[in-house]
Structures are given as C-alpha cells and as structure tokens.
Structure 1
Amino acid sequence: MEANPYPSLPAGVPPFDAPRPAFIRHALSAGWSDFRTAPGFGLLTGIASVIAGWVLIGLTIWAGHTFWLILAVFGFPLVAPLCALGTYEVSRRIGMGQPAGIGVILAQLQEERGRQLPWLSMLMVVALLFWFFLGHMIFALFLGLKPMVNVTTSFDVFLSIDGLMMMGLGTVVGGIFAFIFFAMCVFGLPLLLAREVDYMTAILASWGHVQAHIVPMLSWAAVIVVLLFLAMLPGLLGLVVVLPWLGHASWHIYAQMAAGAR
C-alpha cells in the first residue's frame, strides 16, 4: 500500500451523517461568523470575481455577442465553488485554531497543485465549456435564423414560440448540468481539501451522499442559486459578500456531516 504523501491529513472518505435539522441555517450562520473573523481572502475572492465578470460583460458587448452573457449567468453557479475554494480552507483553519491570513491561504492553495484538487477543478472547467457549447447549440437550433442584434435590443424574440421553447429546453438542460455539478462537488471539493483521497473517490462519495439525502441537499442547492442570482443583480457587486459567505457556509455543510471534520 502506497504511503500517504500528506501525513498531516487523514486518509480515505470519512463516514457521513444525515443532514441535521436546520443544517442550512447553522451553516449560513457559521459561514457568516467565519467571514467576519477572517474577511481578507473572502473579500479578495469576491472582488476578483466581480472584476472578472465586468471584463466578461465588456468583451461580449464589444464583440456583439451578448447572448453569451445569458450562458455565463446560468453557468456561473456551476463553477462558483471553485471561485470560493480558498474560503473552505479559511473555515477549516479557523475551526482548527490556525492562522487564516491571505498569504497562508494562497500558499496552501499553491501546495494543492500536487494533490487531487486540480483534477476535479479541470473536470469542472471542461464541463462548463461544454455547457457553453451546448447552450449555444440550443440557441442556434431555435433562434439561429431570427433577426437579433443583441439581448438588450431584441429581447422580444425570447417571447416568441421559438424563444420560449429555447428557454424551456435550456432551463431543463442547465438544471441537469447544475445538479450533476452540485452532486459531485458539494462534498467532493471540501473532501479533497481536508483529506488524502483521489478525486474520483471524492466525486462518488459526494454523489452517493446527495442521492441518499436528495431533498435536504436540493434545498441547499436552491439557497446557493437564489443567493448568487440576487448577488449578481446589482451589477455583480453583491458577489463581493455573498460568494465568500456561501464558500464558508459550504465548508460547514460538509463539516456538519463528515465525521472528524468538526
């Protein structure tokens, strides 16, 4: 048996408990407490995400392809856990009484290059790119021959029969993508950060626990989606606070159910 190359981390998948009553409220409360305790990395993450969003908006408007903004808006919740990954480590360190400054967290994320997190991260990015391709194909199928300048000046085309069918099919496909991403990563990402385990094992463990407790876990997924979309409404500025808050809370969702994590 190969020796654990990171002996400071426990090996293998821990036993998972069922979601406890009010687990979402407890996670949000603990996440907010962590954000207030060590806001530096979270604010850095939120500000970087907002700037990246503004750049994306500017590029799509400049290129005259504003439809890509719709795909980006619906695709962002898929990769939001990656954006907030460092906040998991902040919360983990706070729980262990360890330093959680920006430099420490950046150094820890740098060390993750030699572990399994990059593999799951790459898988998520590839799947997001496939979502962009599939979304554009659905758009072309229903509205490819419709006259449209951009989303803001031709919004009425979405209210046509073809436009409504496109949005209906796109919502179903996007929902499937979102569920797959969520089920893979809600426990998979923090598991890879906290324990020595390969990424496929982490994905399967996460998927299995979500399937076993589908209703409460879908409730948590709904909270994430609603808060992220509300945060994006004021020119993306809400992400400065909401993204790190959800990141910290996501760690506590994992910590409440993974034996030995709390």
Structure 2
Amino acid sequence: MTGGLTIGQAAAFVEVTIKTVRHYHRLGLVAEPERDGSGYRRYRSADLLRLVQVRTLATAGVPLAEIGDLLEADPEPFAAALDDVARRLTERIEHLIARRDTLHRLTGGDRLLLPDRACAVLERLTDLGFDPDYVATQREALVLARALIPEIFDGFLTRLEHSLDDPGYVELTKRAVEAASWDPDDPRIEELASLLTHKLLGDRALLSMPPRSRSDTAARYGAVNHHREDRAPAVARLNALIETNLRAAGIDVPYQ
C-alpha cells in the first residue's frame, strides 16, 4: 500500500469512526503508525488488519479490555476465551429478553404485578358487576398482600375464589360496597358485619392468617386488610366489627 492511508481513510475502510480508531490507540489495542515526512500518520495493510481484528471482536461482544490479550493468545486459549465470551453474551441476551418481556407485560397492566390467578379473580369481580372503584381497590390490596404477606397470598386467593362461587357472599359483599356511603353509626353495619362473619366462619380452613413470626406482622396485615379505609369510615367500622367477631370465634386476627 504505497504511501499508506490517513486515519480518516483507514476508519472508513474498516467501517468505524476516527474517534473509535483513536480510542483503540489509547487502549493500546492498535499501535499508532509512524508519521511520514509531512507529519501525518499513515496506515498500512498491517494496521488495517489489526483494526479489522479489533473491530470484529468488539462487535461480537468481546470487552475491549480483553481484546489485546485475546489477539496475542495461542489457538487453544483463544478458543476458550471466545467460549467464555459467548457464555456471557448468552447470559446478557437472556437478561435482555427478560427485560423485554417485562416491558411487554406492562401493556397487560395487572399481570406485571400479579399472577394470572389473581388477575382471574379481578376479572371475575368485574363479571359479577362490582363497581370499578371496588375492583381497583381489590387490585391494590392484592398487590399489597403479595408484597407484604406472601406466605398467605395463595390461601387468600383460594378464599376469594370460593367466596365468589357463593351467590350469598357476593350479595353481602355488594352490600358492604354500598356501606361506604352509610353513616358510620348506621345500625345496618352491625347486622352486615354479623352476616359476613357467619359467611367467613362457614369454612374456617380458608381463613388464612399470617404467622406471628415477625414483629411487624400486625402492621403488614393491617396495611392490606384496612387498605383505603381512611376514605370510608363506615367501611372501617364494618371491618373492625368483623375482626372483633372473628377473634371472638377463636380466629387469630392480628391487632394493628
């Protein structure tokens, strides 16, 4: 190659930028050519070959910090090093695929934070005619339950599934939703609390309570069971009465 190439020509031939070539020089991956009589560095075929080798390995995912040693390695360690790079690339690909799948799940709303089984319960509430605000509150409570008391989450879902199969319980729950607009001292609240307690005690095995192994168990349970009560004093009283009735029946409901 008579005269050699300028850095701009060399970069264009190898399909990288001039900045990239200079970066390779700074890292010691490609030696800087000697300057000619006019003061310009001229890249010859050997320089271009080295640039192609470095660019190819970098494009394949080999970290720049490893390329220098890799190019000086014998065939056997070279192959082993490439296998290691391939393994790491596979791990990165799997990680990126997982992140992509998470982004796709974002478009599915609930399914990012809740398992399909919980989403089916929420869909069932909608199908049964529950108010959208109530469904939204239950969605939030399920997210909290899964995060704060995961040890009883499956049992909690099982109770919900069984409850939604009981028309009587569904009707009482709809009355409880209506109770949000009642006065907290409305005498109907005590009656409704008694009826709901009776339904809950109909199958004690489904009343999953969190173990007392943590000092903050009551706070965790309360954050879930009393979610959004501050917006509806009548519902807060209804839940408090139900918890009192359950404790009286021997159910170990944590005190908040």
TM-score by shorter chain over 0.5: no
- TM-score, normalised to structure 2, is 0.24
Q: Which has the higher contact order (CA 8 A, sep 6+)?
A: 1
Greater Rg, structure 1 or structure 2?
A: 2
